[in-house]
Amino acid sequence: VQLQASGGGLVQAGGSLRLSCAASGRTFSSPVMGWFRQAPGKERAFVAAITWSGGNTYYADSVKGRFTISRDNAKNTVYLQMNSLKPEDTAVYYCAAGRLPVTSPKLYDYWGQGTLVTVSS
């Protein structure tokens, strides 16, 4: 499975961004897509996950109500709509593919290259 993340950038606090993650290859072997983020000096942290089949969604408490994960099965693409962004959301955002909707990055098998989101105050 190959993953290509895009959509990061610089935005002011309160603004919005939409990240995209295009998947290719043996995507059927990885029924779950997740987004993680890693801020400087911090560990990689779970943000959200979605199942390709059924579209079940899971969120970290810190982003509930502000971020929305969705998928387009026809395009093999997963999105992360981020609203009401805060400076503490600043991080490199990674998409990942795995077999279970878990929060541990160690249990995801494939990773995209990361896209930087910077939220200014």
Q: What does the alpha-carbon distance between residue 28 and residue 99 come to, in Å, rounded to a whole number?
A: 10
Give the position of tokens 């059924």. Answer: 54
Report pLDDT for 51: 94
Q: What does the alpha-carbon distance between residue 71 and residue 79 come to, in Å, rounded to a whole number?
A: 6
Please list the pLDDT of the chain residue by residue as tens digits (121 residues). 999 999 999 999 999 999 999 999 888 788 999 999 999 999 999 999 999 998 899 999 999 999 999 999 999 999 999 999 999 999 999 999 999 989 999 999 999 999 999 999 9
pLDDT, one tens digit per residue, over 53-66 is: 988 999 999 999 99
| The token pair that represents 7 in the structure block | 């959509």
pLDDT, one tens digit per residue, over 95-115 is: 999 999 899 999 999 999 999
Q: What does the alpha-carbon distance between residue 88 and residue 119 come to, in Å, rounded to a whole number?
A: 8
Q: What does the alpha-carbon distance between residue 57 and residue 50 come to, in Å, rounded to a whole number?
A: 4
| The token pair that represents 31 in the structure block | 């029924």
- At 104, is the secondary structure helix, strand, or coil? coil
